[in-house]
Chains A and B, each alone.
Chain A
């Protein structure tokens, strides 16, 4: 099957996955929709249908367009701002999954990165301009170092990086919660939060409309390019991908498998940590996260939708952020809880990652392609014989 058909097939499969997820979503919305008490079955159904329609409108159209049909710039900038952390976790997961390392620690990683960045923002005495950069850098370094734990244990002892990274997520969360509630707590505020960041630590905003769309977004895009370059245009990214495809082949060809396994996870940590630092300094003035933020899991969905290709991460991240915004709108205006996004995410990526999904359709494409090739080859030889 040639490249064009392969792309076509992926597109069809992806669309099918999304449609199925939306179908289930519609069903769920319908079930949740309010029906006036005591109404007849017909009236209840029609009331529910109207509601469902409204909800779907908010979900799919709402994020982009206002009710009067004009484009909502505020919504769009909200979406772009929401993409910042998930682009980073998506990139991190792409790198790790490309090496076949099922490290699920981007979740704890981004939280740690945010925390370390916050610490720098509170305590480091550096001039403006340099302060946020240094904060983000130490955040990235800290999380990269943390990822050494599951990485080295996997490379040297073969211990499951998945279980280790999952455990680390919890350890990080409690460790941060402890510090947040004790030494760093700003008791003067009503809610649990740290001391405020220095004003110089804030990452400047791109647009001034309350969306919190900071320059971090540009940095995220820069790293998309850098990561794509790394994975496809450097020898280390190449080694990561080859090890993910066939570890025996990589070893036989002379690549250092253990070192690359470690590298892929550490890089994943660096990217997640950077995302945390940028998100914290771009959006907040004090650290108040007391639970894992969920960006890590979204990052996994993003990586799967992007096919582990960093170049497609922004599109996947945009798609997820769009739907997330839609769910938020639905929850505000239709009372459908926003957690629907988790169900949608799970369904999309279940079907997306299912290799045998629509495999019969792929088989038909391959057969048709081969037959066509054989026909043209036969015609060629006939022509040359004549």
Chain B
């Protein structure tokens, strides 16, 4: 029985030092020569599991068996030697080098002892390219080739180093439809040649198309392994997207009034030519929490970036209370009453080396209230910061403590304390409770509801199903850069239905989606 499995991960548990369990007692069995999908939403534990298979991380407990032998995959080098290759989501390529040079990096063929035998490198590249039907141009520079070809180079890199087991991490995230079709042809060809492929993805349609079996992860646990041909997309959707515990939030009913945020026909094509936003239009009103649900990578990040001028759209308009905010400086955007709780709090949200106080006043350092003439009014600043620390229950020694000493949840509370306290008219909360403890999570969610009921418009972008379904009054689902659904009332929304829209199985008609535009 064990011989047919080329990869066996038994009882894998991974607990990080901060206490978060990324994988809990997961079993993964891969047969030789199959294309096996590893599925789940973001945060389900797929990437972590594969990192352990590639030696980038070590399991807290559990065993890994390759080809019937128990192994300790302590580093990528060991994994490669064991015949495992990984194609990362963010390519490990050197842009100014040619395809052939990237192929042979670290194992360069030499001539006359000192020089690169580029002829040989090109030969090797062509040989592998033809053998596996992965068409690449050996002499082209990586910076000049399209994304699809870059991916092929990455696959060839793994193959030329002797990989028999290929892990592909969200390979179609950066590909156009055309390129995806090509990739699938190549994968089938590899399979015919006896290679084993593990395909990490959350794109249901693709999985159904190309895989033999699938293992579904949810919340760090395995939901089982299934034969693809035996399952329906709906059933898979239910297994992937669902909440084991439904957290009800005391909300009260929303009474939304005037439109605060008006987004019309927003379009954006990213640097690789992929359309990330496709005529997105919606309105957000005073006093409501509008959730933006969806699996990550469907345009949510790009949408938020547009709203805060961290990026510029190709077309479309964004208005806050009637004023266009496209292209405005962050200072002007904030003066229109917009606040942003950023997805990456360490990059944008805080200045790590600064004190809590310094981080709390960063958006209001020039205000008359905090200044007396040229100098800061330290008494008022201390008082305001102490008040914020107390109101937002930031666990710290004092406002003078360095913010990097705080736990993740408390750092987020500092961000939130700042963003919520400058009388915002519109709050954009992007993954506001990701990676933080339960106490802080509850606190922040309660605050969002409180603010919304007092008249603030809240745009809640979240990949956490509980959060986006329970906290929002209404919500839109994003899929493939479009709004695939608008639900005016989240009250009796079922997980299954959500799953189907999130995974692209269903798409509302334009009239239904259009109801999110209230003007």
Q: Which of A234, A245, A252, A255 contacts B376 (CB 8 A)?
A: A234
Q: Are B348 and A252 in contact (CB under 8 A)?
A: yes
Q: How far is the CB of B265 from chain A (nearest CB, A)?
A: 26
Q: Is B397 an interface residue (CB 8 A)?
A: yes
Q: Could you list some 5 contacts between A and B, CB below 8 A?
A: A2-B397, A239-B365, A242-B354, A245-B353, A256-B331
Number of interface residues of B (CB under 8 A): 33
Q: Are B329 and A245 in contact (CB under 8 A)?
A: no
Q: How far is the CB of A60 from chain B (nearest CB, A)?
A: 35
**Proximity bits, A31-71, B CB within 8 Å = 1, else 0:** 00000000000000000000000000000000000000000
Tell me the A222-259 residues at the B interface (CB within 8 Å): 229, 233-235, 238-239, 241-242, 245-246, 248-256
Nearest residue in A to B365 (C-beta to C-beta)?
A235
Q: How far is the CB of B191 from chain A (nearest CB, A)?
A: 44
Q: Is B288 an interface residue (CB 8 A)?
A: no
Residues of A within 8 A of B25 (CB): none
Tell me the B427-481 residues at the A interface (CB within 8 Å): none
Q: Are A233 and B378 in contact (CB under 8 A)?
A: yes
Residues of A within 8 A of B366 (CB): 235
Q: Give Cα distance in the complex from A248 to B362, angstroms.
A: 12
Q: Which of A245, A253, A256 contacts B352 (CB 8 A)?
A: A245
Tell me the A307-362 residues at the B interface (CB within 8 Å): none
Nearest residue in A to B350 (C-beta to C-beta)?
A249
Nearest residue in B to A230 (C-beta to C-beta)?
B374
Q: How far is the CB of A247 from chain B (nearest CB, A)?
A: 10
Q: Are A256 and B329 in contact (CB under 8 A)?
A: yes
Q: Give Cα distance in the complex from A251 to B309, angstroms.
A: 10
Residues of A within 8 A of B350 (CB): 246, 249
Q: Are B362 and A242 in contact (CB under 8 A)?
A: yes
Q: How far is the CB of B449 from chain A (nearest CB, A)?
A: 25
Chain A interface category by residue count: 20 to 34
Q: Is B330 an interface residue (CB 8 A)?
A: yes
Tell me if B's interface is mostly helix, strand, loop or mixed.
Answer: loop
Q: Give the A-B pair count, Cβ closer than 8 A.
A: 68
Q: Give Cα distance in the complex from A254 to B365, angstroms.
A: 10
Q: How far is the CB of A113 from chain B (nearest CB, A)?
A: 24
Tell me if A's interface is mostly helix, strand, loop or mixed.
Answer: helix
Tell me the B398-426 residues at the A interface (CB within 8 Å): 400-401, 405
Q: Give Cα distance in the complex from A255 to B366, angstroms.
A: 9
| A→B interface (CB under 8 Å) | 1-3, 229, 233-235, 238-239, 241-242, 245-246, 248-256
Nearest residue in B to A246 (C-beta to C-beta)?
B351
Q: How far is the CB of A251 from chain B (nearest CB, A)?
A: 6
Assuming the contacts A250-B362, A254-B334, asked whether A242 and B375 have C-beta atoms less than 8 A apart, the reply is no
Q: Give Cα distance in the complex from A245 to B365, angstroms.
A: 16
Q: Are B371 and A235 in contact (CB under 8 A)?
A: yes
Q: Give Cα distance in the complex from A241 to B352, angstroms.
A: 12
Q: Is B340 an interface residue (CB 8 A)?
A: yes
Residues of A within 8 A of B347 (CB): 248-249
Q: Give Cα distance in the complex from A2 to B400, angstroms.
A: 11
Q: Give Cα distance in the complex from A56 to B453, angstroms.
A: 74
Residues of A within 8 A of B340 (CB): 252
Residues of A within 8 A of B352 (CB): 245-246
Q: How far is the CB of A381 from chain B (nearest CB, A)?
A: 14
Q: Give Cα distance in the complex from A36 to B362, angstroms.
A: 67
Nearest residue in A to B335 (C-beta to C-beta)?
A254
**Proximity bits, B323-359, A CB within 8 Å = 1, else 0:** 0000001110111000010100001111111100010
Nearest residue in B to A232 (C-beta to C-beta)?
B376
Q: Is B363 an interface residue (CB 8 A)?
A: yes
Residues of A within 8 A of B351 (CB): 242, 245-246, 249-250
Q: Give Cα distance in the complex from A223 to B321, angstroms.
A: 47
Q: Are A238 and B365 in contact (CB under 8 A)?
A: yes
Nearest residue in B to A6 (C-beta to C-beta)?
B402
Q: Are A249 and B348 in contact (CB under 8 A)?
A: yes
